[in-house]
Chain A
Amino acid sequence: MNKLIKILLATITSSFLSFSAFAGGHYTGPDLSGQKVVMFGPWLSPEQEIMREVGAIFEKATGATFEYGGSDSFEQQVMIDLKAGSAADLVVFPQPGLAANAAAMGGLVPLGDDIKQMVLDNYAAGQSWIDLSTYADENGKDQFNAIFFRTNVKSLVWYSPDNFEDNGYEVPTTMEDLIALSDQMVADGNTPWCIGLGSGAATGWPATDWMEDIMLRTHTPDVYDMWVSNEMPFNDPRVLEAMDVFGSFALNDDYVNGGSKAVATTDFRDAPNGLFTSPAECMMHRQASFIPAFFPEGVEAGVDYDFFYFPAFSTKDLGTPVLGAGTLVGATNDNPATLEFIRFLMHPEPHEYWMAKGGFLTPHKGVDGSKYASDTFRKLGEILTGATTFRFDASDLMPGAIGAGSFWTGMVDYTNGKSAKEVADGIQASWDAIK
């Protein structure tokens, strides 16, 4: 696992370094007239419109029809569908843990060697992506079940350069500076942070990202890996320490827009709006690379907003860790049109289309880097190349019952005032229960 994740660093990074030399032209596919592909996923507006537009490229090339439907209770609904056997042809999983659950129920079909070869050939460090999307089926046999489509970098802090300039703030390069800057903002009468955990049935996940980023900044990567695999119990003092660091941000009424009580009730999609109000409700927002999709209409990357790397403690010798994640697409049947759509997603064209819309990163080596929506997103490459450690989102790798369950709800309880110890004990208990 450890080695595998290290390769991921190379993986995403290379996507920024790849240039038009490989650019793939247009997708052409077999004639699939009269066939229909239905996709179900967690993406809602505005991502679902983009996904439908991507699907339209497929429709044009093959004659098949494509429909996409999204739900913000995706995690529950997809399980009902899979149990009943009536899931959509393609399912978009926001995390590998959930896809592994679906595979264990026998809900996903193996994608076959030709698609596996496409991932190996086209994705930087293809084998590591394959390992992350290979799960045991209902008979316990390992199958290659899904492809990664759309990856993101999580260790980012978004801010308004103008607001920083007006107040004379500098972008911090160490965690100590970041904390000092937050205190400075409070002293100036500003609110440093906007934090929102609300996300329908998935409420709580943004806090797990905070936790993971902080784990990587307070402990060595080995500890992180032990935490993910539960070799180190969830209520280990080292985890509690990270949770307390998160608490020093989220539970501090002066630090958070609306006070700590607002953290769990603010929707993650609304939270960044505070950067753009007059007067500004907050100065900084820590969120993954996809968040600009939810910024107010008309704001421009590099002008109205920018981002900096969520820095590491200078006193702890842990380098510059980076956290990332990705969504997967799996198939629930092996209809020709369904599998052809997966092959279509391995073609550079859909990647380039979404890149041009913003908020999209890809490990695909064949895409034309100039298609990125703005130079701002290209800067993400620097963050990745500067990383000394790269780790995949921990909650996404944990079993679904933890990573898409008790970890989320536990973090909500924590921001509502439950003690770190109680929360961690509860999560560990739920982990023991599924062992």
Chain B
Amino acid sequence: MRKLSLTSILSQLLLLIFVIIWIIPTFGLFISSLRDKDLLSISGWWTSLTTTEINEIHRMLGMEYQIQENNYYIIKGSIFEGNTGKKITSFGITSKKINEFSLGEIATFKDNSEVTIDENGNYVWKSKTEFTKKKGKRLFTTSLSPPSFTFDNYKEVLFKEGIGRAFINTLAVALPSTLIPLIICSFFAYALTWMKFFGRDTLLALIIASLVVPLQMSLIPILTIYNDFGALFGVAAKSYPGVWMAHTGFGLASTTFLLRNFLKSLPNEMMEAAKVDGASHYDIFLKIILPLSIPAFASIFILQFLWCWNDLLVGLVFLDQVPSEIILTAKLKELLGSRGENWEILTTGAFVSMTVPLFIFFALQRYFIRGLVSGSVKG
């Protein structure tokens, strides 16, 4: 057995700590997205396996439910709908003392009506005089809720809140926005690397220079061009083709640059041998370059796809914010505003949006790391 040195133990420990720090937020988000929404709103995800105390206000039924029994007018009902597993520990009848009474005690209202409640939330409210209000009085309950996990949040978010539709919209934006620049940049990078033509170096310099132009600066000019362009063909300026072109344009410089760096590292002798054998540029590209650069394509695909998937700004500017076009990040931002108090919706929505990046990361991890270091390490 290899003897562990102190430094290696230390570095392993440090690594472990970093991994935990990085994973905790995602893990918490995941647990939160599976929790019951009432519990989620009052306690943190780390308490999800313990029993939680909940304070609630319930309104009892009104006059139309009263029955007469032994000189008493009685209203019976349950404050919980269905079996929630909650157990009431104490209750109150005014907002000032919400746990004034313990179970089994009789609470008396100002009008001398009396109420009792059992731990499952069934109450009996009786009075010597007839009830005359359409709505009953309020009961304040403190109950213990067992840990409760549910997929309801996902159902609600995917089908009711429109995240499901936004998910598909985002795919419809991200896939073409990744494939189109990938196809263009593969030809382009080949030409820049292995074809000799006038102004090649200037062109390369231009591409590198365009990398530093922030895309925020070009939003309004591009949208203006789209308007004129769209008017020519009678289509709306804000549309899927528009956003594909925008992503293609914004991504092309970096993808071309990355791929060119990779192609440059391929041995020159191979191309020359092929040329001697009579291969055209097209043959060389198709039969030699493409098979050799699959890893590079994969890593560029991952980078560009994740960029498009996580993008908010381009999607906000180049698409209408209507259900048929809104993308996932924009939808989440909208929910943050309109459903800010509904954490179960936000955590679930966020987790849905993370599924694709997570899947890509785990499935293509090898290429992902290569993509991050491409250009910096000559392969």
Q: Which residues of A are interface residues toward B (Cβ below 8 A)?
A: 38, 40, 44-46, 48, 67-73, 77, 80-81, 83-86, 88, 160, 162-163, 166-167, 199-200, 267, 269-270, 273, 276-280, 300, 303-304
Contacts and interface: CB of A to CB of B under 8 A. Distances in A.
A386 to B, nearest CB: 28
Nearest to A302: B135
Interface stretch (B223-231, B269-277, B348-356, B363-371): B223-231
A69 B337 contact: no
B54 to A, nearest CB: 9
Contacts of A300: 135
A80 B320 contact: no
B326 A278 contact: no
Contacts of B336: 72
Nearest to A86: B237
Given A273-B341, A303-B135, A278 B98 contact: yes
Contacts of A279: 55, 95-96, 98, 140
The 7 closest A-B pairs by CB, nearest first: A69-B321, A84-B223, A44-B338, A72-B337, A45-B338, A86-B237, A166-B94
A269 B341 CA distance: 8
A86 B228 CA distance: 10
Interface string B206-249: 00000000000001100110110000000011100000000000
Contacts, number: 107
A70 B320 CA distance: 9
A68 B325 CA distance: 11
B338 A85 contact: no
Contacts of B326: 69
Interface of B: 55-57, 59, 94-96, 98, 135, 138, 140-141, 219-220, 223-224, 226-227, 236-238, 316-317, 320-326, 330, 333-341
A77 B316 contact: yes
A77 B320 CA distance: 11
Given A69-B325, A83-B224, A304-B59, 13 more contacts: A40-B321, A48-B338, A69-B320, A70-B334, A80-B317, A86-B223, A86-B236, A167-B96, A269-B340, A273-B341, A277-B55, A277-B57, A279-B98
A273 B339 CA distance: 13
A270 B57 contact: no
B337 A40 contact: no
A69 B317 CA distance: 13
- B135, B321, B326, B340: most-surrounded residue (chain A CB, <10 A): B321
B316 to A, nearest CB: 6
A273 B340 CA distance: 12
B341 A84 contact: no
Contacts of B219: 80, 84
Contacts of A38: 320, 322
A166 B227 contact: no
B224 A278 contact: no
12 contacts: A68-B322, A69-B322, A72-B336, A72-B338, A77-B316, A84-B227, A85-B227, A166-B96, A267-B341, A277-B55, A277-B57, A278-B141
Given A85-B227, A86-B227, A86-B238, A44 B135 contact: no
B223 A278 contact: no
A85 B230 CA distance: 12
Contact of B334 (A72, A88, A199, A303): A72
Given A69-B320, A86-B237, A280 B95 contact: yes
Nearest to B242: A86
Nearest to A46: B338
Nearest to B140: A278
Contacts of B135: 300, 303
A46 B341 CA distance: 13
A40 B320 contact: yes
- B95, B220, B316: most-surrounded residue (chain A CB, <10 A): B95
- B57, B141, B226: most-surrounded residue (chain A CB, <10 A): B57
Contacts of A69: 320-323, 325-326
